[in-house]
Amino acid sequence: AQKITQTQPGMFVQEKEAVTLDCTYDTSDQSYGLFWYKQPSSGEMIFLIYQGSYDEQNATEGRYSLNFQKARKSANLVISASQLGDSAMYFCAMREGLVDAGGTSYGKLTFGQGTILTVHP
Amino acid sequence: SQTIHQWPATLVQPVGSPLSLECTVEGTSNPNLYWYRQAAGRGLQLLFYSVGIGQISSEVPQNLSASRPQDRQFILSSKKLLLSDSGFYLCAWIPGFSGTDTQYFGPGTRLTVL
């Protein structure tokens, strides 16, 4: 069974508008982390935002916010005021597993299949 | 500053040839290190991870292997490449004793096996 599901293969948005990229996950762990990464055509994976399973507030990082709905097991990425440079592949990922006393994760990331976002001028 | 390097950036190898990809990190000690592979148009698949020198965990049985000869060096190898080994290989790390959960990725190596 898929642990991370991104149901939108491609999304289009007009410049300066907001867009939501969907992500649902499946885990039986109580402690887990959810991540979003951006991969432009260069291939580099760029970390955008993180949400811990115990975090009560939705994570925000500049124009990125994560709409975390724990009961529904969804972690959608919202990009506000889209820019042309936001055009890229976006991946949702989940970390399961142990975290040591220092807070460093021994867990591994499971990635979704990605959503290609195209921003139109 | 903390940085991660991968080389080579691109590689074209014949089937049956050996492989060695290198990943090194700077500015930290005792990092967790990871090797991922990305097939064209797909998500990332974890291949190996390491929490310390000489400690390697394998996620997917295949003809690849990994080694960590030094604290900040992680090597992906193969004795004989297959066509199916083509892909984009990414190294990632979590800085040691950082208290962070986030993996940061290197620039990647694009491997084509002909």
Average pLDDT over residues A99-114: 72
Instruction: Write down the pLDDT at residue B43.
Output: 86
Using a CB–CB cut-off of 8 Å, the residues of A that contact B are 4, 33, 35, 37, 42-47, 50, 52, 91, 93, 95, 99, 102-106, 108-114
- Burial of residue A36 (CB within 10 Å: 0-12, 13-18, 19+) is buried
Average pLDDT over residues A8-22: 97
CA distances from B46 to A82, B37, B38, B97 (A): 31, 7, 9, 22
Nearest to B101 by CA among A93, A57, A43: A93
The whole-angstrom distance between B63's CA and the closest CA on chain A is 21
A54-93: per-residue pLDDT in tens? 998 999 999 999 999 999 999 999 999 999 999 999 999 9
CA–CA gap between residue B12 and residue B52 (Å, rounded): 30
Average pLDDT over residues A15-39: 95
**Residues A90, B99, B96, A106, CA torsion sign:** negative
What own/partner pairs with CB < 8 Å and gap ≥ 24 does B38-43 have?
A: B38/B87, B38/B88, B38/B89, B38/B90, B39/B86, B39/B87, B39/B88, B40/B87, B40/B88, B42/A113, B42/A114, B43/A4, B43/A91, B43/A111, B43/A112, B43/A113, B43/A114
For A103, which residue in chain B has the nearest alpha carbon? B99
Per-residue pLDDT at B114 exceeds 60: yes
Residue contact B100–A103, C-beta within 8 A: yes
For A36, which residue in chain B has the nearest alpha carbon? B102
Task: Collect all residues of chain B within an 8 Å Cβ-Cβ radius of residue A102.
Answer: 97-99
For A109, which residue in chain B has the nearest alpha carbon? B46
Mean of all residue pLDDT scores within chain A: 91
Per-residue confidence band for A52, with pLDDT thresholds at 50, 70 and 90: very high
- The number of beta carbons lying within 10 Å of the beta carbon of residue B32 is 23
Instruction: Write down the pLDDT at residue A105.
Output: 54
Average pLDDT over residues B97-112: 87
Instruction: Write down the pLDDT at residue B57.
Output: 85
Task: Collect all residues of chain A within an 8 Å Cβ-Cβ radius of residue B103.
Answer: 35, 47, 109
CA–CA gap between residue B107 and residue B28 (Å, rounded): 18
Average pLDDT over residues B89-94: 95
**Residues B63, B4, A75, B49, CA torsion sign:** positive
Per-residue pLDDT at B74 exceeds 70: yes
Residue contact A45–B90, C-beta within 8 A: yes
For tokens 């004793």, name the residue: B97
Per-residue confidence band for A2, with pLDDT thresholds at 50, 70 and 90: low
B14-51: per-residue pLDDT in tens? 999 999 999 999 988 889 999 999 988 788 999 998 98
Percent pLDDT > 70 in chain B is 96
